[in-house]
Chain A
Amino acid sequence: MVDQQERVAADPAYRVFVSYIDKSRQFYSAQGYERPYSWARNDEAPFTPLRKPIAESRLGLVTTALNLDLPNDTDAETLPIASTYAAPIDPPPARLFTQNRSWDKEATHTDDLDSFFPVHRLQELVEDGRLGSLSPRFYGIPTEYSQRRTNEVDAPRLLELMREDGVDVAMLVAL
């Protein structure tokens, strides 16, 4: 099975990039979940052209990580109930909590903030004049099983927070 999976990864008859839709369906089926998760599917996407150059724009950075400075082995059962949030970006958080999110904990780690929340890299790009400014706050949204809740609660709340801060453009980094 392992050999077969490794062969598939190298075989040009299969797509090169990993299908997480396929993987998660098989994984949760093996955990005994009968109905596979139905990811949203859209044929079209909205589009807003830039109104001004990036060098004059204020950028809002968005993460799915939690703004909590907790050890990696914190019991997920003790975490607060998820919600959309905004928190000051200067000084940047020392760390964000990611252990309750789905990412490849065998292949890598998230101990370096900028590998998934490039706040220092963005600050450097502001200093260099490539980016106008960073919004005074960064933003967090929960990864929701319920698409309705994302569309009707979290995304509108995120928009509201960004409008309060005069955000021109958004960078959303998915773990």
Chain B
Amino acid sequence: MSLAARHLEENGIPTVVCGSARDIVEQVAAPRFLFTDFPLGNPTGKPYDAEMQRAITSMGLDLLETARFPRTTVQTPFSWGDDAWRAGYMRVDDSNREVLRRAGEIRRRQQARRKTEGRVRPE
């Protein structure tokens, strides 16, 4: 997403990226980034919280208007509530190591099958 934002910006379209993966967006270096510190999936506000969604969306417009230089990050003032998701997402520990190893094998087989059957994007 950040790479696409950079391409638009290079070609004269101002952009704002709204997201929750701060390290990725800042490393790729989006021109303007509105960061909400939520689990991945709801970067423009909690489900069914229209007021929060409107505040975040509106802050995105503000950032388009107020940023004066590239790589400007603004953090929205919202927090998810509990923090269990921080450790929970993509967790790797002794309880799931074997499950993950098998899931990886299945995934590689699917990827290989898609390739042989031509169900991939053409080069």
Contact = CB atoms under 8 A, between A and B. Distances in A.
B41 A50 contact: no
A2 B96 CA distance: 12
B57 A121 contact: yes
A69 to B, nearest CB: 18
Contacts of B3: 40, 147, 150-151, 155
Of the listed residues A16, A45, A131, the one surrounded by the most CB atoms of chain B closer than 10 A to its CB is A45
Contact of B119 (A49, A81, A173): A81
B40 A103 contact: yes
A41 interface: yes
- Chain B, interface size: which category? 35 or more
Contacts of A17: 22-23, 35, 37
A167 B40 contact: no
Given A19-B23, A124-B54, A172 B40 contact: no
Nearest to B3: A150
A32 to B, nearest CB: 4
A59 B14 CA distance: 10
A102 B41 CA distance: 8
A15 B12 CA distance: 35
A131 B61 contact: yes
Nearest to B101: A32
B9 A47 contact: yes
Contacts of A47: 9, 31, 67, 69-70
B47 interface: yes
Contacts of B17: 172-174
Contact of A141 (B1, B57, B92): B1
Contacts of B8: 155, 158-159, 162, 170
21 contacts: A5-B87, A5-B91, A9-B83, A17-B37, A18-B89, A21-B24, A39-B28, A41-B28, A54-B64, A81-B121, A98-B41, A104-B39, A107-B39, A107-B80, A107-B84, A124-B54, A125-B58, A159-B11, A162-B8, A173-B17, A173-B19
Interface of A: 1-2, 5-6, 8-10, 16-24, 26-28, 30-33, 39-50, 53-54, 59-60, 62, 64, 77, 81-83, 98, 102-112, 114-118, 120-122, 124-125, 130-131, 141-143, 147, 149-151, 154-156, 158-159, 162, 167-175
Interface of B: 1-25, 27-31, 35, 37-48, 50, 53-54, 56-58, 60-61, 64-65, 67, 69-71, 80, 83-94, 97, 100-101, 103-105, 107-108, 110, 114, 119-121
